[in-house]
Structure 1
């Protein structure tokens, strides 16, 4: 019968695991752990975080060899990646002149340039241009200029390239970008996949690294890839590696602890069954309910459930003894066990209403796992255990330990002193209480973030804390509105009150401006007449500039250039990052660097606003902090509701104020003490500390419930002491490993719960446990033979 039940259980787990594996899709999109954006600033921030062009940029640095070798590696990598459909743009600064424009966009240079806005293209302008080209042909720049002259005698390609060059662009060595020290060749790559699409980014980053490795040969050059996509890949890899490591150590620790605790090889095998059932059931539930993908943090958090789930079979094992039916044993434990499960599930159920997708996933995973672990312990595990193991209440070591614990004084006023001291530590600790930096909510390594900042500075990326935003129904309106700000912004730059700015209108004028420039271009007969006049007495042949005539004719007939037309060109990244087009609305951004006084630009924004066009200055730092604050508010509200429901649950289960107080006091006091310790250690609390506090509260409630459930029976108290010792040691092992993790999220959860385990165990032992009713014959432990 036991064998049949065990086989059926295992087959059910395999079937459930197959369902989970077929449905489970992983997601690394950190927006799942952020609340829905409500303000324009938050919506803009979320759009840029997930799907914006900035999230798709990868910055590549090649180092470790001579500059000429690094430049060759950069050119080879550029050539290999440029035609790959995984990437929408690959640039290393080597594109210049005609190479900066796709062939079908060359004619548009006359719609993009402002050279003829004040002085129209006429014979005099052409004559001056031809004289300048003669001088260029006699200079060292002849090799660059000569191919351009037939189609572009005024060199508008080079004029535009110079105008579009960022002020902080990298230096060029050996025709590619290099850092200021000349030790790293730089490339910029834009992926087709969004920044937090882990599958797409893994494919893109893997392609880059594999391509470089194949080309490097015997070179000592080393490739470094940073950016949101690389972070996503790194997070996935590190999370998987650490999960495997922690899972392996946890498994070994669980097996060894159960072997030592129960002196039986069967217990580790049986104890794993409820745990495996919980994990597989939790994964299946989130896979079915969240087809868009389960976040890696949710999966990582699943490993922490071993600290709760393994409590249920351990309490059952520790109370089993000869003469007691396993089914009767588990029925006797069920009131305490089910109360703890229900209370913890209620705490996590409040996350279902938090408005945060990642927390909803955590809630579904946790509730399903805890419920399945409890139910399998209640209705399946008794059919597999040995009904007559030794009674742990007869252990001499446990009796001596229990006797020493029983001799400890019961805390009374000292608990109030502890609470006051902890409260004072929380209130008086220096530094910020909450961590509002959005980047600290990510599991990205701080060194990687620092490296990303360094490379962005090398590539001339602007400081985007302050952004001017223009919003209207169509892109032409916002392009025109931001273009009108250029004279005022130039004045601020000239006055030293602004280091620089960038806007889409620098690269892509609005349609009205393009049409005005088209109308100002001469038609073909007029242009030929101008050329004939300009060529009089010139050494150039009369028919040398037919390509120029054809390009101007194409420019006059061309439809205005749009953002979509730029796809695949070096302009695409610059424009798409500053012009966001949605359904029925467009947003143009003006990034500002080194802004001294935001009031200067705020005043300009107010002046630029017009009917149908909203122009305002956004502080992106404030937007990100408001998002975190709103997020935390929802979590705290959920915790408050959970606390009320937890009290109600315990009250319904125990029905006596004194018993309820004995169970709740250790848990509540532990929460205060843990927060105090974290604050004294200089830790600024994040969302993940709050999630960990709920988990710690669930553990503490279990400890207190079982100590209270043991009543004043000495033997039952010894069995409960054994169970809680094993549970707390196992949990402490799990969360101590998490506290040593390199992933900040897991480290925050691990350190918080590890502190909670120690405090909960001690306080539950001293507060929730009753004085035992001991007969004279059993007042002292028997001597050790």
Structure 2
């Protein structure tokens, strides 16, 4: 193929990639739902944790603090911010303490106050009670509160609506200044915002935060006040932004290093350009396969998948390094294919084991990686040779490379005894170094700064937010059954608070009693005739006119005959936010939750809850057990991967000695990586484990190519050249990841960087064959020095 045709073919390849990228991008549905990377929940606490992670109100809650101005100005800004955000569709609830009670119930539901309030459970609505209430109202009208009470008297002389408003106030509500919430010091105006976007929706959370900041800029005007936004959504946006920035920086450096190293290694500007085509093809193929098979592609699949298939940049490097005059690129690719194909097939088989994990995210990752690796290998074998110019030189003639090989050849080769001793020492470190082996705490994987976490805890304390670790759960076949069961706790919870076991609590039955309770309250209400007589008797001894309370009589009569309220009737009201967050309805069952604040005696609370058929759930323990179960599945997949990988190498090599020699560096590297991490006090997490597969794949490639070289010195030099270029590009990328501030990236980077270094050294010490060395100063060698 002529140079012009090669250029034309490369442009055609690029055009097809661009077209494929556009087609995949237009159909791609990215997901941020972390539950796709979680195993199936088994316990009630795990099921609740999985639900809450994605859709629970806790994951949607944003906490806001305004500071930097005088309290009056901050209160005005808080009010303006609440008004602006309440009008925007991104938010379900915007609360700052202003008008929480009366505004929570729309006019159409006001008659239901007699079904929602417990006032008449023990006290009948009779003449004596009405007389006492009306006497109190006469006094109220002469007090400063008269202006507030007077508009309510005609329809609500007993002020039942105000009693409900008081009852619905948070148990640990912050202080109120100028009608809005403030911290105890009176320097920060506080708001609580619940977004419509789920906690796992980074785009929705980003939109909500942008809306909050925009509304604040309008509300503060020329003030010097500042805003702080905290909560899971704010953290996820910050983490996502920082991860994207660091990944982009590292990716840019990786691209520059790849270009520079390939140019230096092959003295051709074409090498880095055409060398990147298989990687781009692999990425698009993997992405397209996942998009076609699964309903939505997880963002972690894309990010981690491109990291895992980064190994495919080694494929064109091996092809470039094995070029030599007199051998066409097609012939070179054909001779490398058995070795390259064995490595690719073995790695793909290893990733197949992710399908036994039962975790959707890992299955997506397996599809992405397998399709990507296979596509890159096939592109390198059957397409890339068409773009490669006939080799003007052979890297095996390089004097510098020969000197490097001579120096490396002096390293002692490791036999069975040496390998066994190193493995035993590594195992001893892994097993006997003190400290926790596994990292079960998901919180340690977050890169949120300690100062931000402390700030979040401070805001939660000021707002009286519930405990995020413990929660009471009561199961029922439907919402009604769950509400009835939770109502049995209503007499017990105040006693627990009095004993100091808890500081506060909240449950859906505070806002919406069960249908059974509402029916009982309806039966207690007097009929129209008896209520009219009781009211007339009570009004006679007061300054009020007898016809002043017609609306009250109508409301009570409507309450007597109204259908009971259900959660569906609260839709589009502020009450729905409270009820929906504490009454989870999932298909064939419902769960009533009781959130707790200031839990000091879990044992006492658990004992009371068990009496009424509920459970006190420890979500921290649930998360740790879920991580442990996930890890068990990954370890099972890794063990199965090791067996299949060994089987694939055996089928390819059919020699026990060669198989053991090829697998030994990879196995020993795995032990050494774990030993180094343990020796440095690193607690191992899931990302370390998954990264071990990538490190193993790299080690297998290095060992297979050194085995392929045999004792042919020229082939050994070409393999050394390829492996040096491969390992340098990979090492630099993952070493940069290892320096990241993102724990996940750091875990991946450290694991693979160690793997590259150990695999390179061990492949040389175990797999390379001894060969007679030529003098580095021979004329033939010097002739090729200029091309090194």
The TM-score bracket by the shorter chain reads: over 0.9
Query: For each residue in 1:150-199, what CA deviation from the matched residue of structure 2 results, as whole angstroms up to 9, or x when unmatched?
Result: 32222222222222223322221221112233332222222223221334
**Does residue 391 of structure 2 align to residue 388 of structure 1?**
yes
1:602 is displaced (CA, Å) by: 4.0
2:478 to 474, 477, 484: 474
Instruction: Return the match for 1:169 from 145, 158, 173.
Output: 173
* Structure 1 position 595, deviation (Å): 4.4
Q: Is the 8 A contact 1:58 1:189 kept in 2?
A: yes
Q: Distance in 2 between matches of 1:76 and 1:776?
A: 84
Who is 2:115 aligned against?
111
For residues 161 and 239 of structure 1, what CA distance do their matches in structure 2 show? 44
The alpha-carbon distance between structure 1 residues 599 and 232, as it changes in their structure 2 partners (threshold 3 A), is: closer
Task: Please say if 1:134 is aligned against 2:134.
Answer: no
Q: Distance in 1 between matches of 2:179 and 2:567?
A: 28
Which range moved further: 657-666 or 209-218? 209-218
Instruction: Verify: 1:358 aligned to 2:367, yes or no.
Output: no
* CA 1:765–1:447: 2 relative to 1, 3 Å: farther
- Residue number in structure 2 paired with 1:526: 530
> Which has the larger displacement, 461-470 or 126-135?
461-470
What whole-Å deviation, never above 9, does each CA across 1:222-256 have from its counterpart, x for those lacking one? 33333333344334433433332222211111111
2:748 matched residue in structure 1: 749
Match of 1:612 in 2: none
* Unpaired runs of at least 5, structure 2: none
User: Which residue in the other structure is 2:488 paired with?
Assistant: 484
Q: 1:374 to 1:97 in 2, by over 3 A?
A: closer
Please tell me whether residue 201 in structure 1 is matched to residue 187 in structure 2. no
Q: Distance in 2 between matches of 1:146 and 1:540?
A: 12
Deviation, structure 1 residue 450 = 4.6
TM-score by length of 2: 0.94
- Larger deviation: 707-716 or 526-535? 526-535
Whether contact under 8 Å (1:117, 1:517) holds in the other structure is: yes
- Contact 1:19 1:284 (8 Å CA) reproduced: no
| CA distance in 1 between partners of 2:101 and 2:16 (Å) | 67
Q: 1:701 to 1:449 in 2, by over 3 A?
A: farther
Structure 2 counterpart of 1:185, from 179, 185, 189: 189
CA distance in 1, matches of 2:597, 2:762: 54
Q: CA deviation at 1:511?
A: 1.1
**Helix, strand or coil for the counterpart of 1:468?**
strand
The more displaced of 633-642 and 442-451 is 442-451
Query: Whole-Å Cα distance in 2 between the matches of residues 199 and 760 of structure 1?
Result: 40
Give the C-alpha shift of residue 45 in structure 1.
1.7
Deviations 1:476-514 (A, max 9, x none): 222122211222333333223333332211221111211
Compared CA separation, residues 716 and 115, structure 1 to 2 (3 A): same
Kept in 1: contact 2:401–2:717 (CA 8 A): yes
Instruction: Give the Å deviation of 1:672.
Output: 0.9
SS state at 2:595 partner: strand
Secondary structure of 1:310's counterpart equals helix
Distance 2:87 2:107 in 1: 16
Counterpart of 1:620 in structure 2 is 619
The whole-number CA distance in structure 1 between the counterparts of 2:719 and 2:11 is 31
* Cα separation, 2, equivalents of 1:490 and 1:584: 31
Rounded Cα–Cα distance in structure 2 between residues aligned with 1:485 and 1:696:
54
Inter-partner Cα distance in structure 2 for 1:452 and 1:508: 30
The answer to whether the 8 A contact 1:343-1:646 is kept is yes
CA separation of 1:774 and 1:176: change in aligned 2, threshold 3 A: same
Match of 2:46 in 1: 42
Aligned residue runs from structure 1 range 224-373, under 5 A:
224-290=228-294, 292-305=295-308, 307-373=310-376
Q: Is the 8 A contact 2:402 2:776 kept in 1?
A: no
For the Cα contact (< 8 Å) 1:58–1:227, is it kept in 2?
yes
Distance in 1, Cα, partners of 2:481 & 2:738: 53
Residues 445-489 of structure 1 show CA distances to partners (whole Å, capped at 9, x for unaligned) of 666555444333322122243333222222222212221122233
Partner of 1:660: 659
2:730 aligns to what?
731
- What are the equivalent positions in structure 2 for 1:476-625 lying under 5 Å apart? 476-609=480-613, 615-625=614-624
In the alignment, the residues of structure 2 paired with residue 425 and residue 69 of structure 1 have an alpha-carbon distance, to the nearest angstrom, of 61
3-state SS of paired residue (2:590): strand
SS at match of 2:176: strand
Q: Contact 2:35/2:54 (CA < 8 Å) preserved in 1?
A: yes
- CA distance in 2 between partners of 1:483 and 1:82 (Å): 32
Note closer, same or farther for the CA distance 1:328–1:156 as it changes in structure 2 (3 Å cut): same
* Aligned twin of 1:711: 710
- Stretches of structure 1 that go unaligned for 5 or more consecutive residues are 610-614
Distance in structure 1 (CA, Å) of the matches to 2:572 and 2:176: 22
CA–CA distance in 1 between the matches of 2:746 and 2:54?
25
**2:609 matched to 1:629?**
no
- Structure-to-structure mapping, 1:19-98, within 5 angstroms: 19-98=23-102
Structure 1 residue 635: Cα displacement: 0.8
Secondary structure of the corresponding residue to residue 189 of structure 1: strand
In the alignment, which residue of structure 2 is the partner of 1:210? 214
Q: Does 1:399 align with 2:398?
A: no
In structure 1, distance between residues paired with 2:280 and 2:478: 55
Query: Aligned equivalents of 1:467 and 1:685: distance in 2?
Result: 29
> 1:608–1:601: structure 2 CA closer, same or farther, 3 Å change rule?
same
Distance 1:409 1:584, change over 3 A: closer
Per the alignment, do residues 158 and 697 of structure 1 end up closer, same or farther by CA in structure 2, a change over 3 Å counting?
A: same
Q: Judge which range, 733-742 or 593-602, deviates more.
A: 593-602
1:577 counterpart SS class:
helix
TM-superposed deviation, 1:338: 1.0
1:586-620 CA distance string (max 9 Å, x none): 211223444455443444344324xxxxx333332
Contact 1:81/1:90, CA 8 A, preserved across alignment: yes
* Alpha-carbon distance in structure 1 between the residues aligned to 2:440 and 2:720: 41
Q: How far did 1:782 drift?
A: 5.8
Question: Structure 2 vs 1, CA of residues 586 and 636 (structure 1 numbering), >3 Å: closer, same or farther?
Answer: same
CA deviation after TM superposition for structure 1 residue 314, in Å: 0.5
1:415 to 395, 419, 443: 419
CA distance in 2 between counterparts of 1:5 and 1:159 reads 79
Deviations 1:47-90 (A, max 9, x none): 12212233322222223333222222221121112233332222
Alignment of 1:153-164 (within 5 A): 153-164=157-168
Task: Report the count of equivalent residues.
Answer: 779
How many Å separate the matches in 2 of 1:358 and 1:352? 10
Bigger shift: residues 148-157 or 718-727: 148-157
SS of corresponding position for 1:58: strand
Which residue does 1:769 correspond to in 2? 768
RMSD (Å) for aligned C-alpha atoms = 2.4
CA contact (8 A) 1:28 1:197 kept: yes
**Alignment check: 8 A CA contact 1:426 1:676 kept:** yes
1:777, distance to aligned residue in structure 2 (A): 9.1
Any idea what SS the aligned residue of 1:481 has?
helix
Q: Distance in 1 between matches of 2:449 and 2:119?
A: 47
- Report deviation, 1:577: 1.5
1:668-687 aligned within 5 A:
668-687=667-686
Closer, same or farther in 2 for the Cα pair 1:559/1:444, shift >3 Å? Answer: farther
Alignment pair present for 1:424 and 2:433:
no
